[in-house]
Structure 1
Amino acid sequence: MKDTSRKVIISCAVTGATHVPSMSEHLPLTPADIRDQAIEAAEAGAAIIHLHARDPEDGRPTPSPDIFRRFVPAIAEATDAVINITTGGSTRMTLEERLAYPLLARPEMCSLNMGSMNFSIHPLAAKISSWRYGWEKDYVEGMEDMIFRNTFKDIKRILLELGGHGTRFEFECYDLGHLYNLAHFVDEGLIKPPFFIQSVFGILGGMGADPENMTVMRSTADRLFGRENYHFSVLGAGRHQMSLVTMSAIMGGNVRVGLEDSVYIAKGVKAESNAQQVRKIRRILEELSFEIATPADARKMLGLKGADTVTP
């Protein structure tokens, strides 16, 4: 939606379920790590904190509500950031597992992948010579033969069950067709504006990280929804992160950073924390004369129900 003040929402995806511990020693794995890095990212300027959970024993992705409860309430108590819980989980989880914690917490926001896809980072396995945990190599290499599933029926269930509790969504669109999937559910009356469209670039199986693709996504969303009815945001995977999200802001959109999306802060340099990435993009945006949205701004822009309605 049009925002005359041009405030830019910074989202931070803290840990995700794609990168494995061997890819970075700074990737938060334990509840305490996730809590501390999320709080630091919020203090650095992230209005939205996007959260996955990991098993503290070996860092593998987990849908366990008990693990989520070991860090989500602490983040909510320490910050006023919007807490955004994944419904994507990982390719190894069932829909029931992915929804287990969101249906209990009924958060202000959840991520929602707008279609099934061949989501994979399996080529990266060849670049890792030493694996920290036994599960990692099979997990990464196995993505070559895994599909992330979100059928129309799956998406409809998420919209009805979580949307019925007032949760709104970060609609993750990895390809042009995902915008048309979103439009289908708008036509069915299951999604109302303002929409928060997170365009994802640079993941194998989805759109490449080409600036031209961003232009196509933006113009298609304008045509399908009308620019006044949605907020555009971008995440760039890996080395494409900072350049693409900066372009998003210049095109009138918002930005997402975080160790879920890239474990680097510069070419060949690992990011030491999520907050380091938040501080970098904030500096870039402020030097370009953009104003950074506060959590209160984000709640108003996105029509969220408010943190006081959530029971993490």
Structure 2
Amino acid sequence: MAKPVIVTCAPTGGIHTPTMSPHLPVTPEEIAASAIEAAQAGAAVIHLHARDPETGKPDPRPELFQAFMPRIADACDAVLNVSTGGGLGMTREERLRAAVATSPEMASLNVGSLNFGIFPMLEKHSRWKHPWEPEFLESTRDFVFKNTFADLEYIVKELGHGHGTKFEFECYDLGHLYNLAWLIDQGWVEPPFFVQLVFGVLGGAGADLANLHHMHTIADTLFGDDHEWSVLAAGRHQMPFATQAALLGGNLRVGLEDSLFIGRGELAPSNAAQVTKIRGLVESLGHELATPAQARARLGLKGGDHVRF
């Protein structure tokens, strides 16, 4: 019997800009409402970023996270996962500010540096709501998202050892799996490991099913029964890859951080709509969605009563 599928929803992220969709949550109120709706639709984990409420630009200020995280926690039992990716171009310290302040059950961690190119999105719009948007996208033409071995050591010790926070280890390429294996070999992180396989970002593994199968095989070889694996794919690949993950007995992630669409040429009206769609697909395959309590047990989390929000 397959284990229930852990669905993560990433409501806003730090990639898409306000011009791209009127449905992208920006203010704390919008992020809270969208996250709560996604949890009610079936997401067990909510992966969180913050944005400047005036401009929609990714923003690392802990006070913004504190403006929506307590609201979400009061309204639902979902696991709240704070990004340490922040926004492209932030320093390591800026990216960690919110997680250090809120001491969450879970935080994301990109397990290696990579070219992170989102500049092709410039071609899709000619008019922008805010001046920062085209400048931000263009900057990624000459940008490396930095996560060195020193960064990885610092983050797992600061959050893992200092706060008891577990990680969503985001692996954008094959080498990132071996980087995670190195962290494990040092004794700095303990199982169970939550391994998020990422596809379709320019600079990382392409959205080819052969890559998914190979990375899943390598993860299984490296981590065996000590890990839970999940899949996210960018843009139009989101739903096909999420469905494939469920078919293979894995977990999955959806949300407007990863794709603004719910069908060909159709903007998703909400994060909850994406969760509802993938829930229907997963249940049609004969699988169930995991509850937050089941996710906590399988991921070895410290519980919602040991956080600072």
Compute the TM-score of the two structures, normalised by the length of structure 2.
Answer: 0.99
**Displacement of 1:5:** 4.8
Amino acid at match of 2:280: R
> Aligned residue for 1:46?
43
Give distance in 1, aligned partners of 2:261 and 2:139: 24
Match of 1:149 in 2: 146
Partner of 2:54: 57
Q: Please name the residue that 1:200 is paired with.
A: 198
- Partner of residue 185, structure 1: 183
Q: Distance in 1 between matches of 2:240 and 2:210?
A: 13
Is the counterpart of residue 28 in structure 1 residue 2 in structure 2?
A: no
User: What do residues 260-306 of structure 1 show as CA deviations (whole Å, max 9, x unaligned)?
Assistant: 00000000000010000000000100011101100000000100000
Query: What RMSD over aligned residues (CA atoms) do the two structures have, in Å?
Result: 0.7
Give the SS at the match of 1:53. Answer: coil
Distance in 1 between the 2:60 and 2:281 partners?
35
Amino acid across the alignment from 2:185: D
The whole-number CA distance in structure 2 between the counterparts of 1:204 and 1:6 is 32
Distance 1:249 1:5 in 2: 9
Q: Give the Cα separation in 2 of the matches to 1:218 and 1:57.
A: 41
- SS of residue paired to 2:67: coil
- Percent identity over the alignment is 56
Q: Partners in 2 of 1:193 and 1:303 — Cα distance?
A: 8
Cα distance in 2 between the residues matched to 1:257 and 1:5: 20
What is aligned with 2:16? 19
Q: 2:4 aligns with which of 7, 11, 17?
A: 7
- Asked if structure 2 preserves the Cα contact closer than 8 Å seen for 1:9 and 1:46, the reply is yes
Confirm or deny that 1:251 pairs with 2:257. Answer: no
**Does structure 1 retain, via aligned residues, the 8 Å contact 2:66–2:102?**
no
The answer as to 2:174 corresponding to 1:170 is no
Alignment partners' CA distance in 1, 2:177 and 2:168: 13
> What amino acid is aligned across from residue 178 of structure 1 in structure 2?
H
Q: What SS does the aligned partner of 1:272 have?
A: coil
Matched position secondary structure for 1:54: coil
Equivalent position of 2:220 in the other structure: 222
Tell me if the contact between 1:236 and 1:261 (Cα under 8 Å) persists in the aligned partners.
Answer: yes
- Which structure 1 segments of 5+ residues have no match? none
**Contact 2:7 2:290 (C-alpha < 8 Å) held by counterparts:** yes
- Counterpart CA distance in 1 for 2:265 and 2:2 is 36
Normalising by structure 1, report the TM-score.
Answer: 0.98
Partners of 2:17 and 2:245 lie apart in 1 by 27
